[in-house]
Amino acid sequence: MSTPNIQMVDLLSQYKKIKTEIDEAIHRVLDSAYYINGKEVGEFEAASANYLGVKHAIGCASGTDALQVAMMALNIGPRDEVVTTPFTFVATTETIVLLGAKPVYVDIDPASFNIEPAAIEAAITPRTKAIIPVHLYGHAVDMDPVMAIARKHGIPVIEDTAQAMGCEYKGKKVGGIGEFGCISFYPSKNLGAFGDAGMVVTNDDRLAEKVRMIVNHGSRKRYYHETIGVNSRLDTFQAAILNVKLKYLEQWHQARRSAAAYYNELFKGSDLITPSEASYTRHIYHQYTIRLKNRDQVDATLNEKKIPHAVFYPIPLHLQEAFAGAGKLKGSFPITERIAGEVISLPMHTELTQEQQKILARAVIEAL
């Protein structure tokens, strides 16, 4: 069985629906010739802050940069420790290590795939300088206990919201709960640019000012550098594109939620575990991720039949070769390691049809 018309993410069909608006936005930038820090950047930052309910939204070059810049604003560096999850995309840990700090991992909750709040406190030491909870796949971390632990110990929280712009925790959009929220606009995200782009959000005026300097070479005034920074400005073209797409985001979230509900219906009675949605969150299904006991067998069968799917993520970060120096051996985080051996993500996007979902579900059930 081959499914040539089904993709993990159908960006082309989405673009075609709003092509006129996107093309006009791009041409406005071309006509202005303001390719760096054009007015569209400020417009998108203001619109994003309004959508998320935060005071400040600062564009940057990628979600990875957003994480690094947030940690730089908190002066995190050598010998510092940052508590986070081993079950996430590498950028979460990569940025910690690039700054000379040490990632300290905490195992996950098997239902949400997110960091287990009850296990965070035991990982805190005098060197802990931040906690980075990751709202994985578009499902919120249970933030109240995370924030209670952070406040008790005086530790800032950086929300990794790369996969969760628009996800809600108890009616509030994630990203504005901790000191920082870090967002990715990688093309496949629910709100995706046409290249790399990211954002740092915060309600703290002082931290916002520092982030604005860091992303612009540590400069508030041209050629006057107050702090060490990086070159991580949000491109004007990407801001213009994102400005158009932002107004469709809630509609697209609902399309994903409807698709997830239909997947759940199709898989009823099957020998697999469908994604959960805790009462405290509104899941936005950046990924639709199921759990299978015989994942590797199913993965191989789907590959053989050219059924689109992906494994996010097959190897936990504490077992990655790049981070072997952290000294955490296999068995250190048993829930993470078990989940990493069970998960498969199926196509999830705004253009997915129920007929396509039936084909995908049938293929998975047959592979089981």
Strand partners, 181: 159, 201
Q: Answer yes or no: do 252 and 240 share one domain.
A: no
Question: Would 259 be classed as within a structural domain?
Answer: yes
State whether 219 and 253 are in the same domain: no
**Quick check: is 56 in a domain?**
yes
- Do 189 and 265 sit in the same domain of this protein? no
Q: Of the candidates 202, 227, 246, which is a domain's last residue?
A: 246
Asked whether residue 2 is domain-assigned, the answer is: no
Whether residue 210 is found in the same domain as residue 173? yes
Residues 227 and 104 in one domain: yes
The number of C-alpha atoms within 13 Å of 224 and in the hemisphere containing its C-beta is 2
Give the residue from 139, 122, 315 showing the smallest Cα distance to 131: 122
Same domain, 232 and 274: no
What CATH number does the domain containing 273 carry? Answer: 3.90.1150.10
Long-range contacts (CB closer than 8 Å, 24 or more residues apart) made by 93-96 = 93/317, 93/323, 94/64, 94/322, 95/64, 95/67, 95/68, 95/71, 96/71, 96/132
Given its phi and psi angles, is residue 59 left (phi above 0), alpha (psi -120 to 50 degrees) or beta?
beta
The answer to whether position 3 is within a domain reads no
- Looking at the fold, whether 238 and 317 belong to one and the same domain comes out as no
Residuewise pLDDT in 10s, the chain (368 residues): 555 589 999 999 999 999 999 999 999 999 999 999 999 999 999 999 999 999 999 999 999 999 999 999 999 999 999 999 999 999 999 999 999 999 999 999 999 999 999 999 999 999 999 999 999 999 999 999 999 999 999 999 999 999 999 999 999 999 999 999 999 999 999 999 999 999 999 999 999 999 999 999 999 999 999 999 999 999 999 999 999 999 999 999 999 999 999 999 999 999 999 999 999 999 999 999 999 999 999 999 999 999 999 999 999 999 999 988 777 889 999 999 999 999 999 999 999 999 999 999 999 999 99
Sheet holding 168-169, edge to edge: 172-173, 168-169, 281-282
Residue 64 and residue 91 in contact, taking contact as beta carbons nearer than 8 Å: yes
Q: Are residues 90 and 201 in the same domain?
A: yes
Asked whether the beta carbons of 302 and 309 are under 8 A apart, the reply is yes
Alpha-carbon distance of 214 to 269, in angstroms, equals 52
CB 39, CB 243: distance < 8 Å: no
Judge whether 1 lies within some domain. Answer: no
**What string of DSSP letters covers 32-94?**
HT--BS-HHHHHHHHHHHHHHT-SEEEEES-HHHHHHHHHHHTT--TT-EEEE-SSS-THHHH
Query: Do 174 and 304 share a structural domain?
Result: no
Q: Which two tokens stand for residue 171?
A: 């009616």
Whose CA is closest to 164, among 144, 191, 193, 135? Answer: 135
* 350 domain residue, yes or no: yes
Is residue 231 one of the residues assigned to a domain? Answer: yes
- C-beta separation of 62 from 198 below 8 A: yes
Last residue of a domain, which of 204, 231, 246?
A: 246
* Residues 20 and 148 occupy one common structural domain: yes
> 274 to each of 110, 266, 288, how far by Cα in Å?
12, 10, 8
Same domain, 198 and 284: no
Tell me if residue 191 falls in helix, strand or coil.
coil
For position 196, which CATH number holds? 3.40.640.10
In this structure, the answer to whether residues 104 and 222 fall within a common structural domain is: yes
Contact call for residues 227 and 214 (beta carbons, < 8 A): yes
**Which range of residues forms the domain containing residue 237?**
12-246
* Domain count along the chain: 2
Domain annotation covers residue 167: yes
Of 246, 261, 285, the one marking the end of a domain is 246
